[in-house]
Structure 1
Amino acid sequence: MKIRYADLIDQTFDFPTEEFSIKNNFLEFHGIPLMELIKKYGTPLKFTYLPKISKNIQKAKKWFEKAIHSNQYNNKYTYCYCTKSSHFSFVLEEVLKNNISIETSYAYDIEIVKNLYQKGKTTKNIEVICNGFKTKNYIENISELINSGFYNTIPILDNSDELEKLSLVIHYPFKLGIRIASEEEPKFEFYTSRLGIGYKDIIVFYLNKIKNNPKIKLKMLHFFINTGIKDTAYYWNELFKCLHIYAKLKKIAPELEILNIGGGFPIKTSMSFKYDYEYMTNEIVYQIKKFCQKENIYEPHIYTEFGAYTVGESGGILYKILNQKRQNDREKWNMINSSFMTTLPDTWAISRRFIMMAINRWNDCYERVFLGGLTCDSDDYYNSEQHMNAIYLPCFHKKTPLYIGFFNTGAYQDTISGYGGVHHCLIPQPIHILIDHDKEKNFVYKIFRPSQSPEEILKILGY
């Protein structure tokens, strides 16, 4: 009779996987001995496996290179990382090893670019795509960047008023992009995205404000939909509407040469995750080429802005089960030694699911449980996996500790929860470990930040 936790995983998934394996009855993530991490640093423990960032970038580059070659596409591809997914210095420094561009969304992002330049991590040739609503501070920072020699900076107009404001403070001719206000899926509360300029307004705006302005070169048309890149009628319909605008613009604006299709590659949130990246990449390149041939225009230089895909699968967090509470005949609550609201805010804010597995005791019997956090908030819980409507873990025993891990948590969680700040019920931020390889491919561990102390938290609160 197969009643072990290992049997459950084996029966449910194709296991081991590219990321996960078992060694000596302990779970490993990309070969990282997680129990050794726990013994050395304790729990709760947040970690970032830096090589995974570069690996995902290189994967996407190869998919697009292959699609361009197989479709005889007459232009190239550029990978762009959107910083809002994770602004940490270790992420940006790893990303920049891969010859990519970066996308910003607010004024303070520009300070990151300047800091990376001052540290010698990049040069003034770096390409910076400036998205988002342009506040006065953001416009001043963009102009400062361009005026100081970062000529590959491309501000993307989010509304028509931004053009005049940029022109007044940028002293040199500069490149420009326009973001299309795409239409949202029918299930959204609103019909059109608040971001960008409407489809019907772009051509008239170009003719009146850009075409005869010698200071400005329209280089990029920017397109993005909130639900990401999916093989759905909605996605293809929005892409083709964007291509129609691109074709009309290209015929009157020969300097236009870049089509930015934004982000949207998904990450693995379940062990049963299925997504054909290579097919989607090839189909996008094929459809763009086919459309351009029909319109008799030259194919655009394709840009993407992958954020969560870049950094998401590099992150994880490990917890210890402190105790089990039985609330009635059926509910068993395993209490973690932290809070989901502090460390994985997406789980309660938007019911996001991550890959979750036990770290140890794989040969033990399993049971159905709920996971509870330490705050006194009823929403601080995790009750199901994306692939099933329940959580199963090795049976709780007071004398034998149980450790669990959540994986592919590297995007957005820290910025949403307010990294280094005050959290619900004063639950502290956990220790954060960076994992890399040395020249011999051995794992190297570095403490990025220790867990928050009571003194730090009270200082923020004014005590």
Structure 2
Amino acid sequence: MNTKYSDLIDQTYYFPTEEFKVEGNELQFHGIDLMDLVREYGAPLKFTYLPKISENINKAKQWFAEALKKSDYKGSYNYCYCTKSSHFEHVLNEALKNDIHIETSSAVDIDIVENLKKKGKITDDTYVICNGFKRDTYISNIADLINEGHKNCIPIIDNYEEIDLLEEAIDDKFQIGIRIASEEEPKFEFYTSRLGIGYKNIVPFYNKQIRDNDQVELKMLHFFINTGIRDTAYYWNELLKCLKVYINLKRICPTLDSLNIGGGFPVKNSLAFDYDYKYMVEEIVNQIKIACDEAEVEVPNIFTEFGSFTVGESGGAIYEILYQKQQNDREKWNMINSSFITTLPDTWAISKKFVMLPVNRWGDEYERVLLGGLTCDSDDYYNSEQHTNAIYLPKYKKEKPLYIGFFNTGAYQDTIGGFGGLQHCLIPQPKQLLINRDENGELEVKLYSEQQEPEDFLKILGYNN
């Protein structure tokens, strides 16, 4: 009878994968011995495996290069990193090694851009695509960047007043984009995105505020679907509606030469994850070319803004199972030595799933459990769909510590969780590791930040000021 945890995985999934393998009943992630990290640094801990960022960027660039060649597409492709997914310098430094561009969403993003320019990480040739609702400081920072000579800074117009605000602050002629307010899926609580300008209003808006404006040049149409790039009737319908707007604008606006299809490539959230990235890229490029060829207009240069896809699969978190609570005859709660709400807030806020696997004891018998965090909050738990609406882990044994890992957690979790600040119930933020490889492929592990101490919380709260 196959009762080991390793048997369960072998029977359920194709394993090992490109990311995971098991050596001596212990899990490895991209060749990293995770138990070695635990033995040296303890748990809980979080880590970022930097090479995965470059790997995913170059995968996407290759998919688009092949698709453009296959379709004989005459436009170019430009990869932008959506900084709000992770603003850390080590993330931007790794991403910018790969000849990419930047997408921003707030005023401080422009301060980061200025810092990167001073350090030579980006130049005036780097596109800075400025999304978001813009007022005061954001407008001022965008204007300063453009006035300093960064002509490839392109503010994306989100509402009718932004052009006037930008005109007042910018000295010379500047380029803009317009964001389409896409229609949301029927299951959403609202019908149209709060971001951007409605499909039917874009051409009239161009005619009224841009067409005869000598200071403003329309370069880009921006299109983004909140649910991401997926092979659904809804996505393809919205893309075709966007292309109709692009074609109508292009006929009256010769300077329009770019279509930004936003972000939305999914991140692996299960060993059973199945998504044909190559097919989706080819089909998007093909649909754009068909629509433009039929309308006899030039195809646009394509921009994307991949955030989660860029950085998500580089991150991980490791916890120790502290204790098991048998709450009734069916439910066993494995308590982790941290909190899901604070360290993986998307599991609590939007019921997001991550790849979850034990780090050690793969040769032990398994059991069905629930996972609970340390806070006194009933929502501090994780109930994965990875194993058919249940979680299976090696059986809890007090004398044999069990460690579990959550993987592909690199996007949003640290900023939403409030890195370096207060945490719910004052559960300490785990220590953070940066993992890289040298020119010989050898692992380099650096302690980026220590686990928070009580003194850190007391200072923030005013007790030690």
Give the TM-score normalised by structure 2. 0.99
Q: Quick one: distance in 2 between partners of 1:166 and 1:182? A: 24
CA contact (8 A) 1:181 1:197 kept: yes
Aligned residue in 2 for 1:105:
105
Aligned residue in 2 for 1:397:
397
The aligned amino acid for 1:247 is I
The aligned amino acid for 2:221 is L
1:258 aligns to 2:252 (yes or no): no
Task: Name the count of aligned residue pairs.
Answer: 463
Question: Shift of the alpha carbon at 1:355?
Answer: 0.4
Aligned residue in 2 for 1:122:
122
Question: Shift of the alpha carbon at 1:120?
Answer: 2.4
1:438 aligns to 2:438 (yes or no): yes
The aligned amino acid for 1:118 is K
Q: Quick one: distance in 2 between partners of 1:111 and 1:43? A: 34
Q: Quick one: distance in 2 between partners of 1:439 and 1:314? A: 19
| Secondary structure of residue in 2 paired with 1:194 | coil
Question: Shift of the alpha carbon at 1:161?
Answer: 0.5
The aligned amino acid for 1:97 is K
The within-5 A match list for 1:247-396 is 247-396=247-396
| Cα displacement string for residues 243-281 of structure 1 (whole angstroms, at most 9, x for unaligned residues) | 000001001001100000000100100110000000000
Q: Quick one: distance in 1 between partners of 2:156 and 2:195? A: 11
Q: Quick one: distance in 2 between partners of 1:429 and 1:211? A: 52
Question: Shift of the alpha carbon at 1:172?
Answer: 1.6
CA contact (8 A) 1:46 1:318 kept: yes
| Cα displacement string for residues 70-120 of structure 1 (whole angstroms, at most 9, x for unaligned residues) | 111111111111111111111111111111111000111101101111222
| Secondary structure of residue in 1 paired with 2:80 | strand
CA contact (8 A) 1:243 1:291 kept: yes
Give the TM-score normalised by structure 1. 0.99
Question: Shift of the alpha carbon at 1:460?
Answer: 0.5
Q: Quick one: distance in 1 between partners of 2:447 and 2:175? A: 41
The within-5 A match list for 1:125-140 is 125-140=125-140
Q: Quick one: distance in 1 between partners of 2:455 and 2:174? A: 48
Q: Quick one: distance in 1 between partners of 2:243 and 2:383? A: 43
1:74 aligns to 2:74 (yes or no): yes
Question: Shift of the alpha carbon at 1:454?
Answer: 0.7
Q: Quick one: distance in 1 between partners of 2:272 and 2:449? A: 33
| Cα displacement string for residues 42-95 of structure 1 (whole angstroms, at most 9, x for unaligned residues) | 000100000000000000000000000011111111111111111111111111
The aligned amino acid for 2:307 is G
Aligned residue in 2 for 1:91:
91
The within-5 A match list for 1:187-206 is 187-206=187-206
Question: Shift of the alpha carbon at 1:387?
Answer: 4.7
Query: Which runs of 5 or more residues in structure 2 are unaligned?
Result: none
Q: Quick one: distance in 2 between partners of 1:68 and 1:386? A: 36
Aligned residue in 2 for 1:177:
177
| Secondary structure of residue in 1 paired with 2:213 | coil
1:407 aligns to 2:401 (yes or no): no
| Secondary structure of residue in 1 paired with 2:197 | coil
Aligned residue in 2 for 1:5:
5
The within-5 A match list for 1:13-32 is 13-32=13-32
Question: Shift of the alpha carbon at 1:440?
Answer: 1.0
Q: Quick one: distance in 2 between partners of 1:339 and 1:206? A: 49
User: What is the RMSD computed on CA atoms of the aligned residues?
Assistant: 0.8
Query: Which runs of 5 or more residues in structure 1 are unaligned?
Result: none
Q: Quick one: distance in 2 between partners of 1:386 and 1:362? A: 17
Q: Quick one: distance in 1 between partners of 2:115 and 2:41? A: 30
The aligned amino acid for 2:31 is G
Q: Quick one: distance in 2 between partners of 1:335 and 1:442? A: 35
Q: Quick one: distance in 2 between partners of 1:86 and 1:135? A: 23
CA contact (8 A) 1:80 1:100 kept: yes
Q: Quick one: distance in 2 between partners of 1:177 and 1:25? A: 53
Q: Quick one: distance in 2 between partners of 1:224 and 1:99? A: 23
The aligned amino acid for 2:97 is K
Which one is further off, 111-120 or 398-407?
A: 111-120
Aligned residue in 2 for 1:156:
156
CA contact (8 A) 1:355 1:385 kept: no
1:233 aligns to 2:205 (yes or no): no
Question: Shift of the alpha carbon at 1:328?
Answer: 1.4
1:141 aligns to 2:141 (yes or no): yes
| Secondary structure of residue in 1 paired with 2:72 | coil
Q: Quick one: distance in 2 between partners of 1:287 and 1:43? A: 48
| Secondary structure of residue in 2 paired with 1:385 | coil
| Cα displacement string for residues 376-404 of structure 1 (whole angstroms, at most 9, x for unaligned residues) | 10110112234511000001111110000
| Secondary structure of residue in 2 paired with 1:268 | coil
